[in-house]
């Protein structure tokens, strides 16, 4: 009699664990090929050798938390476009912070200003 009770309790416990752990398994899926949270459409050249285009493709291909930051683009007044990407960060927030800081550093590094203001996160996942 005791063996049946133990077997039933073990089966119930395992069933409960499966129910609890299944959402975690679904959340652990790869983010590769997904655009994620798109905040605005980045202006990209279709030249495959262009750095921002390569960075955006790398962002989409990344399997972990990543972010793509770029300047807003105004064709009339802006001649400079800066972009930055952070791939496979520990969290989405960390990826956004690092990508945004790297993009903003272009303004001080090359001592330029744009009419559009600065950088913003175009997409993150």
The pLDDT tens digits of the residues spanning 87-108 come to 999 999 999 999 999 999 988 8
**Residues 23 and 45 reside in one and the same domain:** no
Residue pair 45/76 in contact by the 8 Å Cβ criterion: no
7 three-state secondary structure: helix
40 three-state secondary structure: coil
Q: pTM of the entire structure?
A: 0.73
**Residues 52 and 109 reside in one and the same domain:** yes
Q: How many domains does the chain fold into?
A: 2
Nearest-CA neighbor of 104 among 88, 80, 87? 80
DSSP conformational letter for 37: E
**Residues 70 and 15 reside in one and the same domain:** no
What is the span of the domain harbouring residue 10? 1-29
**Residues 91 and 57 reside in one and the same domain:** yes
pLDDT for res 46:
82
pLDDT for res 20:
47
Residue pair 101/109 in contact by the 8 Å Cβ criterion: no
Q: pLDDT digits over 40-83, tens only? A: 988 888 888 999 999 999 999 999 999 999 988 765 556 778 89
pLDDT for res 76:
55
| Distance from C-alpha of 115 to C-alpha of 69, rounded to nearest angstrom | 17
Please report which confidence band the pLDDT of residue 112 belongs to, taking 50, 70 and 90 as the band edges. Answer: confident
Phi and psi of 87, rounded to 5°? -105, 140
**Residues 25 and 43 reside in one and the same domain:** no
Residue pair 13/4 in contact by the 8 Å Cβ criterion: no
Q: pLDDT digits over 14-38, tens only? A: 455 445 444 444 445 789 999 999 9
Pairing of strands 37-38, 119-124: antiparallel
Nearest-CA neighbor of 67 among 41, 42, 107, 37? 37
């Amino acid at each position: 009699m005791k063996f049946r009770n133990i077997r039933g309790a073990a089966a119930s416990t395992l069933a409960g664990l499966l129910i609890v752990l299944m959402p975690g398994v679904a959340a652990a899926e790869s983010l590769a090929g997904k655009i994620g949270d798109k905040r605005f459409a980045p202006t990209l050249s279709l030249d495959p050798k262009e750095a921002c285009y390569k960075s955006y493709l790398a962002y989409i291909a990344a399997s972990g938390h990543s972010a793509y930051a770029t300047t807003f683009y105004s064709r009339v007044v802006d001649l400079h476009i800066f972009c930055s990407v952070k791939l496979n960060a520990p969290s989405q927030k960390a990826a956004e912070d690092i990508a945004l800081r790297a993009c903003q550093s272009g303004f001080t590094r090359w001592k330029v200003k744009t009419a559009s203001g600065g950088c913003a996160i175009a997409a993150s996942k």
